[in-house]
Structure 1
């Protein structure tokens, strides 16, 4: 068998640290494989997926803006991808079919669950995009008894997502102006927006630490920079901060396991991702 090849497709995608992370994993496990980045505009998604299948790709990750649309060009869908209404991982099977899965769900839960208190009841989710779908799906699978507060600028978008999970979670929707009040009432707060992402590192969903408290877990899914302004505020308010790189590594590890049948070297993957992020900053 020749070299197996994998990749990530998105628009934009060339900023991704996934190639560095996944190629480090392949090297650590002595696999003859390579992972590449593919820039795929939305209008070319179907052609790109079929082209990768024809060219013999073993699997690809899918990122913004294709996670929902890609379900329309696959042959089978996992329970997780179906619940989320989105997929981030495609597996090209030997019979020519394409299986869609969502490892963001497992990756997110694995990144935050180890630091959550044993008894917690309420989560605030800031934003209503693809990442929030992964968070809500994970909560519906692993913590269905919790109460979820979605805080958004576009209430209509949040209402559509809430309807999707209405039979699995108790969800309230709040206007963006109420974010501080909502966060202060929650045990877990997750920023799924891009506020604070490099190079706009001064950005944050909130501008002071008054809404944070001791015993609270606060996560930012932005991972560039690793410690966002949002997380610095959370730390100063006494909360436990969790960066977004753990989710990236966790979803990559789950994809690696799906594609290879091997356990992923997560410590190696995180180190490679951190080095790639540092190199990006040095070159900026």
Structure 2
């Protein structure tokens, strides 16, 4: 019986736009090779419009799980049959399980990955955080910070009355918020010279600069923050944490 099960092809993949840089395919392909999961394969589905998800689900034989990345973590929601409690609260999905009868259930493993990754860096003075960006990933970060009892505010290029504009960030704000999390794609390969527009001299050794970007390993955001003494971390460990959580979901 076991051999029969092993032979059944199981397909996984990543839905996103311009995702050649992505870590997921390499990570899962290596995992399958190392563990001799010869019946498993992982593909990138680089799509121009979220509507293409329907065709992928219909035409891909043996598809059991998908990761979702920028810019579809929110626009995927209407295509799902079910959404986990946490993903519903967050309002963004980065992991989908696909049942035998092609029913889709959405989860958010980003918040788990981020929470586990930032936790070891936290000290008593880390009470408040600025989240740079307002996309799907920022919502997962906010949810994780809430779980860690850390207050937060969002920073946006086009702020609403509930958000902070980049031009408002001064020494007083840096004094109040000692965790700065970049959830924007600024600085991701190949656009490695880009970075969020901040006064990086305001970072101190009491600050944490956390960047969800992991390619390059040290973004310009992290380099500049580190130069002023900040404790820095990239998104690589967060990614591994969320990928492993996704793997558990797909194998429930």
Same fold (TM over 0.5): yes
**Number of aligned residue pairs:** 244
Structure 2 counterpart of 1:255: 246
Matches within 5 A, 1:128-143: 128-140=134-146, 142-143=147-148
Structure 2 counterpart of 1:114: 120
Structure 2 counterpart of 1:211: 202
Match of 1:55, SS? coil
Structure 2 counterpart of 1:152: 156
Match of 2:164, SS? strand
2:80 to 57, 74, 82: 74
2:48 to 37, 41, 45: 41
Q: What is the deviation of 1:184?
A: 4.0
Deviation readout 1:17-43 (Å, 9 max, x if unpaired): 211111112223332311111122215
- When structure 1 is superposed on structure 2, of 87-96 and 4-13 the one drifting more is 87-96
Structure 1 counterpart of 2:89: 83
- Compared CA separation, residues 102 and 45, structure 1 to 2 (3 A): farther
- Compared CA separation, residues 12 and 136, structure 1 to 2 (3 A): same
Structure 1 counterpart of 2:71: 65
Matches within 5 A, 1:1-284: 1=5, 2-31=8-37, 32-42=39-49, 44-51=51-58, 55-118=61-124, 120-140=126-146, 142-143=147-148, 145-156=149-160, 173-181=163-171, 182-206=173-197, 209-261=200-252
- Compared CA separation, residues 207 and 98, structure 1 to 2 (3 A): closer
Cα contact 1:42–1:65 (8 A) shared by 2: no
Cα RMSD of the aligned pairs, angstroms, is 2.1
Cα contact 1:204–1:229 (8 A) shared by 2: yes
Instruction: Give the TM-score normalised by the residue count of structure 2.
Output: 0.88
Cα contact 1:180–1:206 (8 A) shared by 2: no
Which structure shows the bigger proportion of residues in helix conformation? 1
Match of 1:249, SS? helix
- Compared CA separation, residues 73 and 207, structure 1 to 2 (3 A): closer
Distance 1:220 1:131 in 2: 11
Q: What is the deviation of 1:77?
A: 0.7
Match of 1:256, SS? helix
Match of 1:68, SS? coil
Deviation readout 1:209-248 (Å, 9 max, x if unpaired): 3211113211111112111121112222221100122222
Distance 1:188 1:112 in 2: 10
- Compared CA separation, residues 233 and 117, structure 1 to 2 (3 A): same
Give unpaired runs (5+ residues) of structure 1: 160-171, 262-284
Cα contact 1:151–1:178 (8 A) shared by 2: no
Distance 1:86 1:249 in 2: 19
